[in-house]
């Protein structure tokens, strides 16, 4: 950034700081453009979808339009049940983004607080929290999710809570490792001498220093959540009333037409690959800013 682009105080603007990870990285910029497109589609989903996603469509002859190949009316074809694939993809975009973002926020907030408290207080507090972290780390995600959802309500929000519970340990361990170093820094001693309490030191002075790495894990968390949610739905344990990319693929393979109706399963599969890959590239770009040593690898 040139001096002319700096505000009067000499510090880069918020937009400039947000753009910094993407500067000079075509792949990261392309990934950001892709995500912006999917976000717009997700926000406008009800207005962009030409049909209700679960609506059965009939032709002029009154017959159900089964497995129609892509055409002018159904640009991505129809399912075995006469439903418009394009409309399901559009609505599924909103579901994927809501699941990914909400899960990432929940796991980040939980992991951040546990990591801060464990690293700062140490001792028996650290031992209890880290042993709990180890226990959750040892839980196999998909088998546990299948059992949990089989015994409870199979809803999108149940899946979000389940994933937030299983994914927070990664963030907690990273934050704890940083806090163990930060709590010995002079600025913490200065805050303590000035009379600041533990939680003021923790959230006013230490937390801002771990936020960049926490944000990176949050970005990766969106990708993990979207992949896991699609896997759960593909196995048939997702919300039966929600339309998502995973449920679309599940419907394809349970209909036993997967080798002929390519237009039914290719679009949701590509959407999952493209969005998850985009989040990983963006997360990598932010990670290089949070940890400059990665640039040399």
One-character DSSP codes across 107-133:
HHHHHHHHHHHHHHH-HHHHHHHHHHH
State residue 297's pLDDT score. 54
Indicate whether 3 belongs to any domain.
no
Q: Which of 13-17, 232-236, 293-297 has the lowest mean pLDDT?
A: 293-297
Task: Tell me, yes or no, if the pTM score tops 0.75.
Answer: yes
* 8-state DSSP, 22: G
- Would 1 be classed as within a structural domain? no
Q: And the tokens for 155?
A: 């809803």
pLDDT(143) > 80:
yes
- The total number of structural domains in the chain stands at 1
**CATH code: domain of residue 211:** 1.10.3720.10
Confidence (pLDDT) at 197: 84
Full residue range of the structural domain in which residue 164 is found: 25-296
In a domain, 20, yes or no: no
Contact partners, residue 2, CB within 8 Å, separation at least 6: none
pLDDT at res. 3: 40
97 in any annotated domain: yes
pLDDT tens digit sequence for 128-141: 999 999 999 889 98
Mean local confidence (pLDDT), 229-233 = 93
Task: Check residue 7 and give its pLDDT.
Answer: 46
Cβ contacts of 248 within 8 Å, gap of 6 or more? 85, 88, 89, 92, 264, 265, 268
The pLDDT of 104-115, averaged and rounded, is 94
Residue 2 domain-assigned? no
- Contact between 38 and 97 (Cβ < 8 Å): yes
Residue 9 lies in a domain: no
In a domain, 74, yes or no: yes
Give the confidence band of 287 by pLDDT, cuts at 50, 70, 90: confident
Residue-averaged pLDDT of the chain: 87
The pLDDT of residue 150 = 87
Determine, yes or no, domain membership for 5.
no
Distance CA 245, CA 89 (A): 7
């Amino acid at each position: 950034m040139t001096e002319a682009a700096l505000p009067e105080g000499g510090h880069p603007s918020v937009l400039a700081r947000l753009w910094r990870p993407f500067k000079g990285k075509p792949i990261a910029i392309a990934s950001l453009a892709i995500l912006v497109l999917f976000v717009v589609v997700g926000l406008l989903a009800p207005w962009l979808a030409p049909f209700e996603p679960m609506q059965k469509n009939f032709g002029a002859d009154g017959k159900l339009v089964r497995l129609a190949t892509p055409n002018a009316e159904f640009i991505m074809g129809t399912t075995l049940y006469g439903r418009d694939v394009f409309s399901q993809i559009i609505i599924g975009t909103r579901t994927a983004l809501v699941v990914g973002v909400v899960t990432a926020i929940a796991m980040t907030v939980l992991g951040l607080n546990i990591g801060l408290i464990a690293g700062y207080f140490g001792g028996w507090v650290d031992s209890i929290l880290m042993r709990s972290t180890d226990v959750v780390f040892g839980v196999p995600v998909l088998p546990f999710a299948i059992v949990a959802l089989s015994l409870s309500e199979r809803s999108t929000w149940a899946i979000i809570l389940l994933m937030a519970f299983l994914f927070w340990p990664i963030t907690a361990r990273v934050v704890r490792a940083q806090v163990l170093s930060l709590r010995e820094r002079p600025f913490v001693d200065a805050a303590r001498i000035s009379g600041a309490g533990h939680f003021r030191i923790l959230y006013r002075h230490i937390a801002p220093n771990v936020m960049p790495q926490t944000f990176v894990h949050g970005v990766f968390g969106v990708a993990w959540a979207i992949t896991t949610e699609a896997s759960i739905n593909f196995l048939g344990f997702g919300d039966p009333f929600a339309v998502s990319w995973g449920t679309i693929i599940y419907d394809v393979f349970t209909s036993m037409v997967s080798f002929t109706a390519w237009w039914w399963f290719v679009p949701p599969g590509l959407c999952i690959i493209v969005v998850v890959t985009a989040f990983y590239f963006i997360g990598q770009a932010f990670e290089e800013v949070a940890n400059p040593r990665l640039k040399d690898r």
